Amino acid sequence: MKASTARVKRARAIESVAKTITGLAAFLVVGLVLFVIGYIVYRGAGSISWEFLTQPPRKNMTAGGIWPAIWGTMLLTFWTAAFSLPIGVMAGIYLAEYAPRGTFTRVVRLSIANMAGVPSIVYGLFGLSLFVLTFGFGRSVIAGALTLACLTLPVIITSTEEALRQVPKDLRQASLALGASRLRTIVRVVLPAAAPGIVTGSILGLSRAAGETAPILVTAVAFYAPIPSTVFGETMALPYHLYIMATQAVKPAPHIVWGTALVLVAGVGIINVAAATWRSRQRSKIRW
Amino acid sequence: MVTAPATTTGMFDLHDVSVTYGSETAVAGVNMHIPPQAVTALIGPSGCGKSTLLRCLNRMNDELGNVKVGGRILLDGVEVNDRSVDPVELRMRVGQVFQKPNPFPFSIYDNVAYGPRTHGVRSRAALDGLVEDSLKRAALWNEVKDSLKKHAFELSGGQQQRLCIARALATAPEVLLMDEPASALDPISTQQIEDTIAELKRTVTIVIVTHNMQQAARISDQTAFMLRESMERPAQLVEVGDTRLMFTNPSDKRTESYITGRFG
């Protein structure tokens, strides 16, 4: 009896230690995020001004704004979405709704897993040789966006497939039993129900792409460029601007570096929060 | 109560029907007549192939792949598995209501209008008429007529199931297949569904799968008892006949022991 009481006490002590340690790890994550964001705001907030957000750089990049980089990142992200969303969503639909169990499907899945595992600088190299040189696009928005699209595709495919799989079979059955074709069932019933998941997953993937430096380093960006007039022009971009200002600037201008970092983090953050809010709104409307 | 034009169609004849999944024959040798504008109940213990047989009637087994249906299934004399029969048309004539209420995540109106829209009805007036008529036939109209734009998920479980019945009725089917339509519902909702079925059978042929023998006795005109005696052998139809007769004087020993609750 006594021995077992001691064992219970011991178990309880171990339990509370485990709870404390795991709790600390969770707290560390929150602290880290708060610290990073807080520090960027602290260092960068002073640089933010109307001029900073709307004007091109001046005086050998030591003054002025970062508007061409903001616009360039928006442009790159838009075209990345334009290339990767249709292909990614369609591939996700194929995997979730049509793919038979077999070698071909296994190969497709393996390819997607591998695609997600390739380091982003390797995509940059790939984009350089295929889009920039072979296709002759040169360093351009389109070559950069195509490269970023390769990086984003696996995220979009996977989130589409998962969102579609979460739609109950019952709904598909109901639609088929009403005489609807497979395609109509997907388009009218399954896709709308899965839309929140698809959109959030895609936005997370795209915001990740918006912050990437390595893939656009050799495919799209320039140290200084005016706003490109076509997608075949080279562009500035926030992550690259940040990189170049932090490491290779002729004259260091830390206020521009931190200001740029703040704009990038804030932009991506706002989009992510908006996506998460929209999804939870949709979720509360749709429940099964 | 709105009544659909009286028809004398919607009659099934099954000759030696069998269903094979891959290499396993699940149901074999089913011969039965399903009379029009009457309720036929399929009863039997779990796994006896009732739902499998039901799904043959609107070819929903096609969607599973790897399923082979043998024998002859005639709807008003026409073989439904014939290559010339389009499953889309068949499913317009043979609607289905499922075990769990499964409304689409749309408004009440859009749920009911889904079938007609699928089959090309575009006119607002025609859709309005079909929606109202179908909801009335499913005995839901009075509860929802002022809130047709409301999301279907805001309805109670019983209302959702009647919405699913209305949705199935909107394509004006001659036959309605119901796979344990009340098993997920409370007694009051079950009662309402049973009342709806009693009203509907004046215009529609109903084939209902049920676990609940009292329910089969209450609502059906004809009962079919199915049984799978061992996993090595396919399920079969033990007995089919007038419900009152079967429940008072079954001709097969196995039917008698099932309905008196000795197994199942």
The yes-or-no verdict on residue A169 having pLDDT over 60 is yes
Phi–psi pair at B110, nearest 5 degrees? -65, -30
B223 min Cα distance to partner chain A (Å): 24
Work out how many CB contacts closer than 8 A connect A with B: 63
**A151: Cβ–Cβ under 8 A, 6 or more apart, which residues?**
A120, A123, A208, A209, A212, A215
Bridge partner residues of B177 (DSSP): B96, B207
Query: Looking at per-residue confidence, does B65 or A98 come out higher?
Result: A98
What average pLDDT does the segment A24-37 reach?
A: 95
Bridge partner residues of A196 (DSSP): none
**3-class DSSP assignment, residue A217:** helix
Closest CA relative to residue B113, chosen from B99, B125, B102, B101: B125
Q: Among all residues of chain A, which has the CA nearest to that of B169?
A: A178
ipTM value for the complex: 0.88
What DSSP character marks residue A256? H
pTM of the model: 0.80
CA–centroid distance for A190 within its chain? 24
The yes-or-no verdict on residue A149 having pLDDT over 60 is yes
Residue A239 half-sphere exposure toward CB, CA atoms < 13 A: 19
Q: What does the pLDDT read at residue B258?
A: 87
Read off the tokens for A230.
């076509």
Q: What does the pLDDT read at residue B2?
A: 46
**How many angstroms separate the Cα of A213 from the Cα of each of A76, A119, A224?**
12, 12, 15
B91 min Cα distance to partner chain A (Å): 5
Report yes or no: A105 and A125 within 8 Å, Cβ to Cβ: no
Give contacts of B 100-159 with A, CB under 8 A.
100, 102-105, 114-115, 118-119, 151, 153
pLDDT tens digit at each of 264 positions of chain B: 444 454 568 899 999 999 998 888 999 999 999 999 999 999 998 888 899 999 999 999 888 878 899 999 999 999 999 888 998 889 999 999 999 999 999 999 999 999 999 999 999 999 999 999 999 999 999 999 999 999 999 999 999 999 999 999 999 999 999 999 998 888 998 999 999 999 999 999 999 999 888 899 999 999 999 998 888 889 889 999 999 988 888 888 888 888 887 665
Q: What percent of chain A has pLDDT over 90?
A: 57
| Confidence band for A249, pLDDT divided at 50, 70 and 90 | low
CB contact under 8 A, B91 and A285: no
Residue located via tokens 């090595």? B232
Burial of A150 (C-beta count, 10 Å sphere; 0-12/13-18/19+)? buried
Report yes or no: A93 and A160 within 8 Å, Cβ to Cβ: yes
CA-only gyration radius of chain B, Å: 18
Q: What does the pLDDT read at residue A12?
A: 92
Q: What does the pLDDT read at residue B1?
A: 41
Phi–psi pair at B15, nearest 5 degrees? -120, 115
Burial of B171 (C-beta count, 10 Å sphere; 0-12/13-18/19+)? buried
Q: Among all residues of chain A, which has the CA nearest to that of B60?
A: A177
B96/A contact by beta carbon, under 8 A = yes
**3-class DSSP assignment, residue B232:** coil
Q: What does the pLDDT read at residue B203?
A: 92
Which chain A residues are Cβ-neighbours of B98 within 8 angstroms?
Answer: 170, 173-174, 177
- Strands B94-97 and B175-179, sheet pairing: parallel
Report yes or no: B59 and B80 within 8 Å, Cβ to Cβ: yes
Which chain B residues are Cβ-neighbours of A175 within 8 angstroms?
Answer: 104, 114
Q: What does the pLDDT read at residue A59?
A: 78
What DSSP character marks residue A135? S
Domains of chain A are 70-238 (1.10.3720.10)
- Strands B39-43 and B24-34, sheet pairing: unpaired
Class (C level, CATH) for B12-102+175-259: alpha beta
Q: What does the pLDDT read at residue A144?
A: 94
d(CA B81, CA A94): 28
| Cα dihedral A244, A246, A247, A253 sign | positive
